[in-house]
Each structure stands twice: as C-alpha cells, then as structure tokens.
Structure 1
Amino acid sequence: MTRFLHHLGRSSAAHPWRTVGAWVLAAVLATLAGGALGGTTRDDFDVEGAPALAGIQSLREHFPGSGAAGSSAQVVVHDPAGTPLDGASVADVASRLAQVEHVTSVGAPRWSGDRDTALLAVSLDAPVTDPDLAGGRGAEALEAAVQGAAPGLQVELGGELPNVSTGEVRGTGELVGAAVALLLMVVVLGTVVAAGLPLLVALTGLAVSAAGVTLLAAVTEVSTTAPTVAVMVGLGVGIDYALLLVTRHLEHLRAGLPVTEAAGRAAATAGRSVVFAAAIVLVSLMGLPLAGLPMYSSFGFATGIAVVAVAAAALTLVPALCGILGRRLLPRRERRERRDGALRPAVPAQRTRRPAPWSARWAAAVARRPVPWAVAASALVLALAAPALDMRTFPRDVSNNPADSTTRQAYDIVAAEYGAGANGPLTVVVDRAAVGDAGVAAARERLLAEDEVVAVGEPVVSPDGQVAVLEAQPASGPADERTHALVERLRAELDGAQVTGSTAMQSDIAVLLSERLWLVVGVVVAVSMLLLAAMFRSLVVPLKAAVLNLLSIGAAYGVVTAVFQWGWGAGLLGVDHPMPVSSFLPILLFAILFGLSMDYEVFLLSRIREHWLRTGEARSAVVQGLAATGRVISTAAAVMVVVFLGFATEADVVVRQLGLGMAVAVALDATVVRMVLVPASMALLGRASWWLPAWIDRLLPRIEAEAADQQPGRDHEGERAGALG
C-alpha cells in the first residue's frame, strides 16, 4: 500500500490539473446522474418483529384502499381569542382537505369543550412512505389546501403524516461552524491558502457523495435524516483527513524536499493512516444494519458513501492542490527567510537547542505521575457519563419540535384542548371472526375500565366483517413512560386483539433499539480490535483503545441525557422543555463515534509505534508520539467540535442531539483521553503495551501503520517484535 500511495501522491502533485479536472468531471457527472436517476428519501417504520406491525398489516389486509390501511393526519382549527368557532369556517377547511390527492375521508369535527377548537381527522389511502407523500410532499399538499382558509383563525397540521416530515435544514449553524473551523486552521497552518485547502477538499468529496446518496435512494429506502448525518460526519472527517495530509506535506517541505516528493511522502505516510481510519469508520457504520431497523441501514450506507468520497478526495486532491500551490502553502515569513538564506553566503551553522513542544512537555509530565493523572481523568469522564444511567429513550415526539413549527403548534393546542393523549391515540384491532361481537364489546369495556384511557371510540367493522377497530385515547402523551406501560399492559390483557398505530410502533422501536444496542457494540468493538491488532501488532493497544473510546462515548451519552432529558443548559440550544433522548441516538452515536475516535487513535499510535520501533523506549515513544501529533490532533478535534456544534442548532431533534453528543465526545477524546489517559496508561504498561503472542502474530494479517520518514516499501517491523512475541 505504501508504494501505491506514494506513487498516487507524487502523480497527483506532478499532474495536478489532470487530478482536479477528474474531480470536477466526477462531481458534474454524479450530480447529473443523481438528478436524472436519483430517488427521494423517506422514513419506513415497518419494522419486522415489532408487535405493532402485525396490527398494521391486519388493517392493510381487511381495509384495502381505505384510510385505515394508509396514513392519517390531524388538522386543528383554533380561535386564539377563545371565541366559539363558526361551523361554516370549519366546514370550509374540511372541504378543502377532501380535495387533496390521496385523501379518502375527513371526519366530522371533534369539538373542544368551549368550542373554540375543532379537530379534523384526515385519512389517506397511501402510507407515509409512498413517493407522493414522502419527503414532506404529503404535508405540503395539506398545508397548501388550507392556506387562506378560516381567516383570523389558527389552522395547524399534526398527526402521523405531518409529524414524520422532516424540518427544513437551515444551515446557519453549519456555516458559522465552517467559518470558525477555517479560522482555527489559519491560526495553526499560518496561511489562508493552506487553511482553505482542507475545507475545499472536504466540500468536493461531499458534493460527489450527495449525488451518491440520491442514487442510493433510487434503489433502497433512505431515511430523511440520513443525508444530514452523512454531511455532518463527512464534513468532519474530510477536513480531518485533509488537514493531516497537509500538515505532513508542510513538514516535508520544511525539511527541504521538492514539492512532488513531499506530496508523495505525505500520501505514503499520513495517507496510510487516512485509509485505515476511514476503514475503521466504515466498519463501525456497517454495524448499524444489526439494529434491525431499515432506516438504520440507510444511515450506515449514506454516511459510508460520504466517508469514502472525502477520503478519496483527501488522498488525491490534497497532493494535487499542494502541487499547484507549491511553496505558497508556507507562511510568507518562512518563504522570505528561505529565499534570503539561499542568497546569503553560507556560514557555519550554529547549534541551537529548540524548546520541546508543549505537547511533549505535557506528555512527559503525565508519564512521570501516571496514576494520579489517570485517576483524575477517569473520575471526570465517569462523572460526565453518570447521567446516562437515567437515560430514557423514545423515537419521535412532536412536542420536541421547534415552538414555531405547525406540528408543535398543533400538538400544544390539542394537548391543551383535548388532553395530551389525543396527540397519540392507540389503535386496537380486534379479531371479530374469532371473538365475535361480544368479544369486541368486551375489549371496549376493558379499555373504558383502564385508568390511563380517557376516551374510546365506537368500533368500526371492516368491509369483510373479519376485524373491528377501536381507537383509544391515553391519558398521557406519546413519549410519556405511562403510555409505553399502557401499551404493554393492554397487549397482555386483551385477548384476540392487537394494539397498534403510530404511538405503539414508536414504543416498539424504542424497545427494539435498546435490545439491539449491545449486539451492535459487541460486533463493532470486536472487528475494530482485530483491525487495530493487525495494524499495531499488539493485543493490549486495541483493548486499551476500545475501553477509552467507550469511556468518551459514555460521557457523550451522559451529557446528552443531562442537557435534553434533565434540562441542564438546554436553553443554550433552543430547547424549551426537557425531553427523552431519541431512541435512534444511542446506536447511531456509538457507531459514528467509535469510528471517529479511532481516527485519533490511529494518528497518535502510528507515531508512537514509529518511535517505539526505532528506539525500543516505551515511555519516550509516548512522549515523542504525542509531541508529533498533539498540535494536529488538537486542531482537527477543534474543527470537528465546531462543525458538530453547528449541526446541534438544527430543528431535527435527532440531528441536534447527535451534534451535541459528537461534539462532546470528540472534545473529550482529543483532550482528556488523548492527552491524559493514553499517555498515563501507556506509561503504566510500558513495554507490555506492545505484547502479542507469537502464534497470534502468525495468524493476523499485516496492515502497516504509518512510518513517517521511511522510504516507501521499507519495513522494520521485526526490530522490536521479536523481543515481545
């Protein structure tokens, strides 16, 4: 791989416009293909194994072509002044809704006690995943129909169809984050040109990946949130990968290498770390399909496309742009000093002792007293992780939407006028053929006798007479723990009946994801440890890396729980009330963060191993490795943090919680973990860090780590392995 990457880097730098032209052509062709052949995103909540799915399938079978087999919406007509509504205004809204495509019926208005609010139930003959309704199109059609109706009154949309439509991605926070990231790179790299290069490369890769995700949506279902998550991760890692390569390239330029050779050396050394880091991220993402939820697979595939695209852009575009810019990447002061030095007569060089980098001094201080440093850092991380023990999850709750959104407005009005449970009614499908009308009546009586049920509708019999449907309104809202307990209790006590509907399905998804979390964790950790063992020829290093990564991820869980569920500092993110953590978050956050954390692990351990192989001094290798990578890892982490915090300002609660969790984990990983726990633990372990039994060494494939200053192809692996095998 080293020879290939060295050749790729030299070739890209030697023929830069050919490489740039190839990427421009790829971006144009991908965009055209995406526009012509691409599909649309949609959320599929038909989860195999979920108890609610059986009821939904029964409705589709016995109510073909009707609203019971399709989707639904609620339209709220409300007078903010509290004046009783005019029936004609409500009838006008209902008639407009009835003309919308796919609408099969608009129910009679359900009046509030003071008649200042009317609730209209809208039934559609297609599910929310139908191309005509997915991606917000169904909600937009309903909103357009009621536009201008009922002047002076408040008309808001809620219920199943509007609630699954994603909010518009504003992008303001992301732009601010990108600007701050650019400023950070200017400070570190010294020039605007060098700082802008990683951002340009990352954006180029994302442009190609966006078209790839669109094409993916044409052949499989892609969640509406998946493209946003893909951009979030792709932007972060793309800047990181490019920054690592640019930093190495500048090191080689300062060492006096020609531009093309500096690019080749950077690709051959730092490029290997980029390839391996991207592979670890992909391994983590491929654990998502194990969650058993269709949209989780789309998160993994969409984000994987973004990671591959930005990694490819970093490995080719960075050398090409470095070839075009030449020594202009260096600060002007350095270029002037080099030019003046070349013109002056040679004088005997004065031997000067340069002060050690701050990261080396820090690592040495930690290595001298590893135990207290390790205890203090572990205590901090565990304290941040502690709130995760109280984490409560729920997939989607409209009460968490922005206060100015129509779905949130509808939710609040319905909760105030009809009770919180009216926002998430339960559908009970009774097998009338098996239990008869007496059984249907008994099921209704049981529902009426339940303390947590405040209203039960009259049974609706299917056209074939096989099933009867009852709608029950819980006393609590969809995300309330009492609603979940009610669903489980009714399923246990109602014979010949299925409890289903959107609320019941969301409850089932929460249970399913919590059960699958440990399967995903186990598989991802095991495969990642095997890859690390193959790369670093050690059993201890992968185990330590996995433990430390899990600590930082646990801290991210804890902070998200404290902010969103407990409400600590929630106002800073525009959250106006405590809410459950999204059920999608734990597995998604783990899969992404485990891969991202391994990025820094690979960057740092590659340098540590390089010094270890050369000197055999375990403690000094840690100090030297941290000295070589401290600045670039800190900068890369700071860039990621500001980018992720930008996404934490979005309206979508999954994106918001994911952005905060990733920012917290990356910040901890680059500071507490990499700057304290890694040097402290490796100083305590010493030579044992690189222990690998000989028989395992023979079984493991060899994946070469970065070796900064070797000629391509040279291998000195055997220098230290024999002593530790």
Structure 2
Amino acid sequence: MFERLAELAIRRSRLILVVATVAVALMAALGAGAFGKLRGGGFDDPASQSSRAARVIDAKFGGETNLILLVRATEGRVDDPAAARDGASLVDRLKKEKNLTNVVSYWETNSPDLRSRDGREAMVLAHVTGDDTTQRDNAKELLATYTGPYTGPYKGALEVGAGGGAAVGSDLGAQVVDDLILAEAIAIPLTLILLLLIFGSVVAALLPLAIATIAIVGSFAQLFVLGSVTDVADTATNLTTALGLGLGIDYALLMVSRFREQLAAGSSVDDAVRRTVSTAGRTVAFSAATVAAALAALLVFPQYFLRSFGFAGVGVVVIAAVGTLFVMPALLAVLGHRVNSGRLPWAKSSAKPYAKPYAEKDRSGDRDPLYRDPLWGRLARTVMRRPGVTALPVLAVLLLAASPLLGITFGTPDERVLPEDAGSRQVSTALRENFDGSEDAALNIVIGTPVSKAPLESYATELAALPGVARVEASTGTYAGGTSAPPGPASAALGRPDAQRISVISSLEPKSDAAQALVAKVRAVTPPAGSQPLVGGNDAALVDSKDSIGGRLPIAVALITLTTFVLLFLFTGSVVHPLRALVLNGISLAATLGVMTWIFQDGHLSGLLGFTPQPMEMAMTVLMFCIAFGLSMDYEVFVTSRIKELHDLGADNETAVIDGLGHTGRIVSAAAFLLAVSFFAFGVAKISFMQMFGLGSGLAILIDAIAVRGVLVPAAMRLLGRSAWYAPGFLRTFHNRFGLSESGPEHTAAATVVAPAKDAAGV
C-alpha cells in the first residue's frame, strides 16, 4: 500500500498538488459557514431525569427560567414611583417579545423574594425559547436591546443586567470565538519561528505549515458538515484547530526529516520519497490510528459536548494523516533537493542514517561512520546503563505530581468559567449575595399527571422541611419554615389540570456537595400517590451528568485500552510493548491531571492565570484524558517505529533503543514542543475550562516526550531486555500474516537474511 502511494506521488505529483489546491479551496468555502452550524451547551445527558424534566416543563409550562434580568434603581429603591413605572414599562415590553415566555417580575407579584434585601434591586424572570443554539442567539439579541440604562418613561431610573443560563451561554459563545482568534494569533507565528529554528531552511519549515493548513481548513469543513447532520458543540472549534495545527505539523515534520535524512545519505529523490513513505508514512498511519481510536472512545458518552469532540477529533486526525500521506510525498517529489533551499546561517547539515544492516557492521562495537551520536542517544545510553538511578527519581516526581488526584472533585460549567468582568457572571454573583435564595439555582420538579390540592400541599410541605431549603413554590402557595402563604399572582402559572410544577429554592451554595446531596433528598421524598415527579435544575443536572459520565467512563477506558493494545501489537508484533506503553502513559496522564487539579481546583496560580477555582469540569477532564492519551501514543509510535526498524535489521535490544532514540529523539521533542505551543496558546483564554484543556494537554505532551520517551522508555526496555519483543507463538504467527511494521518490504527481507537466530521465546 505505502509503496503504491510513493509511486503515485512520484508519477503524478503535480496532479496531486492541483487536486489538493482545489480541495483546500472548496473546504475553505464550506468551512466558512461552520460557526453558524455549531451549538452551545451539550453538557447534559438527554436521557437523564433532569433533562426529561426540562422537556416536560418546556412542553407544558413554557420552559424553565433561563434568563434573569437584574434591575437596579439608579437612585433610591425599586418601589419608588419613577423606578416602579419604568419597571412596569420594561415588563410590558418583555411580554411582547416573541422569543420570551413566562415573564414574571417583582412589580407584578410584589414578592419579597424577587427584591433584594436592601430594596435597590429587583428581578424579572423569563424563559428564552428555542434549543441551546437558538437560545444563545435569541439571548444575544435581547441582551443587546435591554441591558444597560433602560430608556423608559423616566430615562435613567433603572439599570438592567442579565444573568441565568441563556445569558451565560451567550457570553460563553462570544468568548469562545475571541479565545480561538487570540490563541491562533499566538500559536501560528510562534510555530513558524520554531520550525525555522528546527529545520534551518525556509522551504522545509513551510512544508509542515502547508499540511497544517490542510488540516485546519479541513477541520472547519467537517464541522460544517457534522453540524448540519448532528449536534456539535461550539467549543469543538478550539480542539480541531489546535489538533489540526499540531498533528499536521507533527506528521509533516516526521516525513520531511526522514526525506532530508535519505537525501543526505546519497539516495536519489525518487528513492528518498519511496523510503520516506514506506517508513515514516507507515508511522504516520499507525500514529493517526492510535489517536483516532482514543478520540473515538468519546462517542460512548451521551452528552453531545463529548460526542461532537469524538466526531470532530477523529475527522481532523484523518484529514491530517491523509494530507500527510498524499500531499507531502508529492511536495517532496517536486521539490527534491530544493527542500533545503533558503538555508539559514545557524543550520547544520542533516543527520545521516545507517548505511548498512547491523549484521554487516563491525562487531567490535564501532559505530557506523555515518551515525552521529546526538544528545538523545547519549541520554538513552546513560539511562540503559543505570536504569534504576535515572528512572526512579523521574517516577517519584510524576507520582508526586499525581497526588492531588486523591482530592479531586467534579462539577459542570457555570458562570464562574467566564472572566469576572462578564455581565452574566456579575449578575449571578449579585443574585447570590443580595437575594434570599437563588432562583437560578432552584430545583424544578414537574409532575406530568393531575394532582389534587391536599396531596400537593403535603408534598410541598415535606419538601420545605428538608435542610437547606429556603422555600418551596407551588400552585397551592409558598412554603417555608413550617409555614405557608396563600397562592400569589405567579402561583397560577405553576399548575395545570394535567400537570404540576414545583420550585424548590435552596439557601445552599450552588453545585456544592450539600446542594448535590439535597437533590438526592428531594428525589427521595414520597410523591403524591400515582405520580412520578421528575427533578431538574442546575444541581440536578450536575448530579445526573456525573452519574452519566462516571457510568460510561469504564467503557471508554476499556475501548481505548483494547484498541491501543491491538494497534501496537499489529505494529510491533509484541504483547509486552503495548502493556509497557499503557502503563507509562497512565503514569504520565495521572501526573498531568494531578497538576491540573492542583492548579484549577485547589486554586494555585489562579491570580496569575485569572480564573476562579472550582471543581474540575468533568466533561472537559474526560476530553483532556482522551486527547492526551492519544497524543502520548502518537509519540509512542514515533519512537517504537525506529527502534523496531533497527531491531528488524539485526540490532540487539540496547543498540536498537539507543540508536532509535538517537534518530527520533530530536524529532519527537521538536514535534512535541510544536504541538504543545498550539495547546499552550489557549492558556491566554478567558474561559477557565479552555485554559485547563490547553495547559493540561500541552503539559501532558511535554511530560510524555521528555520524561517518558527520554527516560522511562529506555529504562523499561533495559529491564525488559529481549522479553520486550515477546509474543506467544500463535500471536506471532498471526502478526507475521496480518501485522504491519515500520520498515518496508525490502528491509523486512533484508532483516530475514541478516537477523541473528531467535531464541526459544521467539525473540
């Protein structure tokens, strides 16, 4: 297969480049409409009790409150004549808005719960209609119209701010776009500078950016297509652009480096293309398969936030790999030796590969004269001579970094992920501080069957008696502290002949452990006979989301483990290599997640990064795990491919590891640093969970490339010895028939002739 790809690139190079150019132009035109297809939210399980409650409330009661207008009197109190008249005017205008339902205000109800304790602020509650995306767009228009000084009969009497889920979603959607633009503005120029430093040649440095461009443009095109047929989260743009830029550069870097290496060894351009595709091309294909397998595990989760990353992530990996395997060989075939054009003053000559199989070398231990012993080769030699002394300190540091995981807690996004100057966050803070009980954090109970008055009163009274409940509002009245008040003007909207709605307002901190425990207590209260209440609201959604993700996480981990094991076995022919890779990757990921917990949950560096500490966002943590795992396997394949190539040529285990790392260490470290830059750029984001994702993914890449590939892999290979290549006889037979290796057929044949006799274990 790879040999045919190489021949196609050599014979039809210019045709391939023309087709690629047209394809990129078409994808760019298609991808221009991607943002219009994406949705906000997606963190909830649609089959959960809280989601079902929300749908019933939408259908029978006009929807839950998702927009809270905080109205402040510029002078005096909200009951003063000027403020009251402007408040009535505001409410009248809001009720005429076609995208709003269930508008309830203090000025209509005179409910003290809708007025602040100092009397200077009042609430207007409403529901913005539509799904998550439509709500976001509708909320954006409403906020632009009504927030700020209100121009009522008494101009300047009121100031209006907006909070609630719809306002937070609107601010979040706008901030995602701003963060993406800023991150790419940082990442792309830095990447170009680093490529120039790495390659020392202008032309060679531009080639990875060409593949990265294909990957990014293709990712936006696939987001447009996916968004047209399924739900895709708007934050997927951040992942796909960072991943497309990073993987496109990674794969192209590997291909260009191998091509220049072959040219430096004296190969013709055509032979260099053939050898590059049959070796580095195979590595790219296997690497893409491992990354795609890790991202595909996200499809087991019902939240479309995670599923959309699974679809989009797999797509961008495939696009980056296809661009590398088809377009890059054609570019190399056309450029030939001009790939080194524009050489910069600091550039050194390319490293040269081994010129002959190991079995043909001088057995005295002298190195091939074409081999240049780089830093990574010396590091690998040092580690393999003293594996315990070098590996144990690194292992201890990684385990120490992982220790904060012992205290990890999880949450879902709320207004606190936004910067402190975001309008919806400021309103949410004011609601918690100035009002008795947060309407935005209420538990919404809906009963989809008729309920008579007496059982409903008994049920509401029992709910009001639960610890942490400030009051309970039902169609039969308001219940608090063992007392009840008769139904008010807003109570009628809570009851229908065929359904009842109950609002449980808590005095607890939203999303705290106590608030989550209250959800379980509310659900445990005996309902009216013959009814099946559904409990929803933000805290209920958090509980349901944790249960949903936690219940499917073992399945996702099992799928990642199984597919990774199978792919690495097919690549290496060993059952030990996949196990070693899984263990070391698990250690590096635990260290990364531990550091992120220490920073974003425990609050260290919060002043520097400008975020509010809070529980780890569960969906984003799972996403970061899958991304980091896939990219770790990316570098596992990079390193193992060269080690196996040398092993197949007859090198002993120690020599294969030392020389394999000597050849690939610089490529892996450079690729890792370039990819980390793409992710670290999101450290300047103003959305805290995007900061966590970017910094965590970048840190995981560097830990893996430096600590794991540089120290732990050679130490493990030294301790395993020849058993690192072990496989049972039946699996070895299977691999000989169906497996693929890094080296092409001509090298496999050579290895068959010159390789030393195998021992009883088949090594």
1:119 aligns with 2:130: no
Match of 2:594 among 533, 548, 558: 558
- SS of residue matched to 1:286: helix
Question: Where does residue 50 of structure 2 map in the other structure?
Answer: 52
Question: Where does residue 638 of structure 1 map in the other structure?
Answer: 673
CA distance in 2: counterparts of 1:721 and 1:277, whole angstroms: 30
CA distance in 1: counterparts of 2:141 and 2:329, whole angstroms: 49
CA distance in 2: counterparts of 1:257 and 1:235, whole angstroms: 30
Question: Where does residue 698 of structure 2 map in the other structure?
Answer: 663
Question: Where does residue 332 of structure 1 map in the other structure?
Answer: 343
- SS of residue matched to 1:157: strand
Match of 2:259 among 231, 236, 249: 249
Amino acid at match of 1:480: S
Q: Does the CA-based 8 Å contact 1:96-1:146 persist in structure 2?
A: no
Q: How do 1:306-345 and structure 2 match up within 5 A? A: 306-330=316-340, 332=343
Aligned CA distance change for structure 1 residues 457 and 234 (closer, same or farther; 3 Å): same
CA distance in 2: counterparts of 1:258 and 1:387, whole angstroms: 54
Residue 488 of structure 1, CA deviation? 1.2
Question: Where does residue 261 of structure 1 map in the other structure?
Answer: 271
Aligned CA distance change for structure 1 residues 337 and 472 (closer, same or farther; 3 Å): closer
Match of 1:504 among 540, 546, 570: 540
Question: Where does residue 354 of structure 2 map in the other structure?
Answer: none
Residue 33 of structure 1, CA deviation? 4.3
Greater mean alpha carbon deviation, residues 557-566 or residues 294-303: 294-303
CA distance in 1: counterparts of 2:7 and 2:138, whole angstroms: 52
Question: Where does residue 140 of structure 1 map in the other structure?
Answer: 140
Q: Does the CA-based 8 Å contact 1:479-1:580 persist in structure 2?
A: no
CA distance in 1: counterparts of 2:33 and 2:635, whole angstroms: 39
Amino acid at match of 1:90: G
1:4 aligns with 2:4: yes
Q: Does the CA-based 8 Å contact 2:216-2:244 persist in structure 1?
A: yes
1:695 aligns with 2:730: yes
What does the per-residue CA deviation read over 1:577-617, in whole Å, with 9 as the maximum and x for residues that have no partner? Answer: 31111111232122212211111000100111111122241
Amino acid at match of 2:102: S
Instruction: Mark the runs of 5 or more structure 2 residues left unpaired by the alignment.
Output: 107-113, 151-155, 350-367, 476-490
Q: Does the CA-based 8 Å contact 2:293-2:630 persist in structure 1?
A: yes
CA distance in 1: counterparts of 2:534 and 2:251, whole angstroms: 51
1:573 aligns with 2:609: yes
Question: Where does residue 67 of structure 1 map in the other structure?
Answer: 63
Amino acid at match of 1:528: T
1:193 aligns with 2:203: yes
What does the per-residue CA deviation read over 1:163-183, in whole Å, with 9 as the maximum and x for residues that have no partner? Answer: 234224222233222222222
Question: Where does residue 457 of structure 1 map in the other structure?
Answer: 473
CA distance in 2: counterparts of 1:419 and 1:243, whole angstroms: 59
Aligned residues: 699
Q: Does the CA-based 8 Å contact 1:194-1:246 persist in structure 2?
A: yes
Amino acid at match of 1:318: M
TM-score (norm 2): 0.86
Aligned CA distance change for structure 1 residues 153 and 554 (closer, same or farther; 3 Å): farther
What does the per-residue CA deviation read over 1:272-303, in whole Å, with 9 as the maximum and x for residues that have no partner? Answer: 11111111111111111212323322110111
- SS of residue matched to 1:615: coil
Greater mean alpha carbon deviation, residues 208-217 or residues 95-104: 95-104
Q: Does the CA-based 8 Å contact 1:206-1:234 persist in structure 2?
A: yes
Q: How do 1:176-575 and structure 2 match up within 5 A? A: 176-330=186-340, 332=343, 356-418=373-435, 421-430=438-447, 433=450, 436-459=452-475, 460=491, 464-495=496-527, 496=531, 497-575=533-611
Residue 30 of structure 1, CA deviation? 2.9
- SS of residue matched to 1:515: helix
Residue 668 of structure 1, CA deviation? 0.4
Residue 186 of structure 1, CA deviation? 1.4
What does the per-residue CA deviation read over 1:402-439, in whole Å, with 9 as the maximum and x for residues that have no partner? Answer: 112122121112122125744321112246635x3222
What does the per-residue CA deviation read over 1:285-341, in whole Å, with 9 as the maximum and x for residues that have no partner? Answer: 111121232332211011111111111122233233334444343263799999xxx
- SS of residue matched to 1:47: coil
Aligned CA distance change for structure 1 residues 289 and 335 (closer, same or farther; 3 Å): closer
Q: Does the CA-based 8 Å contact 1:231-1:303 persist in structure 2?
A: no
CA distance in 1: counterparts of 2:437 and 2:339, whole angstroms: 60
Aligned CA distance change for structure 1 residues 38 and 372 (closer, same or farther; 3 Å): closer
Q: Does the CA-based 8 Å contact 2:405-2:597 persist in structure 1?
A: yes
Residue 453 of structure 1, CA deviation? 1.5
Amino acid at match of 2:343: R
Instruction: Mark the runs of 5 or more structure 1 residues left unpaired by the alignment.
Output: 339-350
Residue 94 of structure 1, CA deviation? 2.8
Cα root mean square deviation, aligned: 2.8
Residue 369 of structure 1, CA deviation? 0.6
Residue 35 of structure 1, CA deviation? 5.9
CA distance in 2: counterparts of 1:617 and 1:49, whole angstroms: 56
Identity percentage of aligned residues: 31
Question: Where does residue 361 of structure 2 map in the other structure?
Answer: none
Q: How do 1:562-711 and structure 2 match up within 5 A? A: 562-575=598-611, 577-700=612-735, 702-707=738-743, 711=746
Match of 1:169 among 171, 177, 195: 177
Residue 248 of structure 1, CA deviation? 0.9
CA distance in 2: counterparts of 1:19 and 1:353, whole angstroms: 34
TM-score (norm 1): 0.90
1:94 aligns with 2:104: no
What does the per-residue CA deviation read over 1:211-235, in whole Å, with 9 as the maximum and x for residues that have no partner? Answer: 1111111111111222222222222
Aligned CA distance change for structure 1 residues 36 and 224 (closer, same or farther; 3 Å): closer
